[in-house]
Chain A
């Protein structure tokens, strides 16, 4: 309660009068009564101010704010640059990461039935470990419909589509041959995938001799001509009519490389083993997709079909087969399976990068706040004057928020430009085809909201802090700004160091892990090795000619066939038996049928025994094991032992002729799968050639192309280098490494900008102190130490905090790899030393400049 001064004065005067007339007691008594009865709401309530209020956003004040903000930016060009530049870089990263996350999350969403499609999967338990696979037997597809009914009779399935894996096939039109990837699917596929038809209709797969082409493939094959009803040949055996052309499936989808779809029946009719498998529950080589009826849920249907495979085959009983649905919405981001449960996958990177983006943005905001608070001393007088002439606190808060929003808006503009410019580069690193969505209103709404939020966060500290200055103290110059805000500013710098050093450590470890896996012995020589897909009927008729001609041409040292490419084991089987086998052992060997020269071509090395030989007829029933297989079987002296393979309709006895060192065919981070190699009775799907190192690869490839054209015209020479294929295995990790490297670099850059600004500001503040010290005899080294030691200290604290954080996350990350590098101490030492060095360089520039200044000059002013 505030009694107005004059009221109090009146009361006092009355008291002194009464003192004379009625005496002290009475006067006191009446004074008290008066005071008490003055406490009435009508007097206590706030009195209106004497001067008129200006509205918070009157145009005069607004234009004044803008003018002052602009002048501040212009006057301090260096700081403005650091502020806007740092913030813009931070925002660019945040926007790029935001777009990347958006792209990842919208994967596959282009399909109309996105939330209804699932792939049918199966779990099986081998030697106590459950693994989850996509391969299913053909009869399962029919059984899904017949046992559970389709949606027209109230069943859960709207569509069930049987399919063969997306793979390369030879497409020939008149005399041209192409190698293109596509699928063979049952006729309901186009409806399920909601293909957008440019020509023809989605019913185009009902006739067996038909094919649907993607728009781009149609253009490659037929140019501008109408492709409908044209004839072409697939794999030189299947002649089909083009019955439709669909829009290319988007790059952000699991079917992006499906350039054509041909009918399943055609594939079954022209491929003997597929035809034989049509009622075979043991041949689990095929894909099944389903589209659910709108009314049912994946979980419910998964539960009902769970035991569909139980009891279908004798081998499966022990393996506890389970059927489950894998919804399309999880295909991309949740692709990891552990013990039969779908968990994790790419989503971890979405989180990781999201977190990094946030942190980089946070760094930029910290810079902004640090510089603004540091420079607040210079604005303190302005605040004092504004307050003295009647500014209220809200107005000052609004002014400083406004200023920070102005800077943020400028930074946002720069960031949009940077995003646009860096997009091609980013796409290349991240393996994306993103565009800056300039036309998407959501992008702008999010962008503006995001800028507003940044502005508010970044501006909050200066706005709330500066506006709290007391005008009298400020104008007297008594304000001790450096003391009161130094602690939070130091905290923010420590946070910056923590984030930067964590990112540096992360980058180093990721690169070390990649290097570690790369340096692993791979068991064969991948240099100068090329491989191609062989879709030629009865290749065995041409085999000898082709091989001899290729070797005779001098371009190739050796040629071999195999059922799986060198970089992937495509076929695994059980049914192996040998003397002394532990009956509980469940077997899942990689089975790779090869030709005699395969070992010689790829350059595998023997631990025991010998390679296949054409001279020994008995070698056609010989078998070569890898080390892992021998270890798995637990046999010593395996050479010459007999291993029998009991499959569907066949029973072969092999004798072991050799043991090779493990070849890395699948993941370079995992141990090699136990595998067996045998001479395949049929020709292999893949042709591998060892180029002659005395010829240049270009010449050799040209020669091979000519030879193949002459002797094997049906096969397009569509080759890949095995070492390229092998490098593909590192792409994911390399991508993380590169992105982490870029983010770390930029985080450090932003932090350095901030430290640079702070250091120069501090040096400026201490100009006179430095002058005095120099006059009194301080050396440049002294002064350099004086100005730098603060930051070094902060960097050390940051390092101390970053170490456990980085260790924790990277340790967890590395646990996912069986073959992994250790986290050695020097990585931390190098990161810490690096951060310290960069800090010192940044700070030294300013501190040495300040230390070298002529004291006469710095002391003369004022």
Chain B
């Protein structure tokens, strides 16, 4: 399988990486290992050790940082940006629709079963339109590349995508270690993210809120693997980081306990799942949420970001239909392609999947973190057969995709520099406006030949550059 190397085209260097060629060439071996150790020390000192995307695993394990940046030209990015924003608009239109009249289902473009019987579909918010018609305020779109102009969306994350702290800290650390690089290259800044996030959240304050909205971040607590990120974002935005017990409902509003007495809260950027938000509406045994929150939310007293119920748009089975959403709601052709996906629940698709297992990647519909998946080309015959039995037992639980020849970016490895596979997660902000910070989180599979970039399976992170025109 030929793999697209984002830096080298044969022996020539692709333009976005032109200046990095000398940087690497002139870097002495000792300096490299020194810098690598320095980077790791910085990450550890910051305390950013959590598993990306809630993948589980050891919460205190340091995720390897690779100093070799991943670079996009202005024109490459401009197309990605348009594609991502288009997708974020379509996903939000879909959410407003399926909690309203369900036109896309009535039109026969997506099966009602996939939506209405989906566990992520929240009946409790049916008929409710959140402020500005936005359900998913931070859309994390996972993208892979297979050629100069070939980008595919692997999945959408409409609930509370994590990992943005890696985007911010990777940049911070690179700038600290290699200030010259940032003088020589015109790199778009990513540190505007927190300001843009703050603006996005404020823009969806409920109508009942007068004046400057009070925004808080609701975290499950310090034992959560992404707690570092929650506190970083709260610091950068200058808002309070709260746990469920810090908030309470009184009358028609939600308040935060402060040393100066109760303060009304207008917008909650929650980093806890729907099921735990309010024991009076969802799981009655939840201690993480705020009792009565959903009643206040539904009556327009507070905004919740992402809106409860947003998860139905990023389900792996619903994913297949995102290009149809773009056509249906926006009347446009999708700029970014989906990876062709077979639904094992469909008889025809299942037949194809079972006949081609060694060439396919098979995933659980609700799985995440690279667990419970089969990467056909990397598996032994016995592993494939064992997985086949699982699929046959419960076909509806699996989807399959072709193994993509993921692009590679030069990466520092023990033997020197070698190409390693990467993916990308940019974070699209949706409020009154749609904004995308030029950059994102690049994950890299550090094992040679590995296509699994998940940190739980030996993945690392890189700084992602977008060059100015």
Does A pair with B?
A: no
Chain A interface (Cβ < 8 Å from any Cβ of B): none
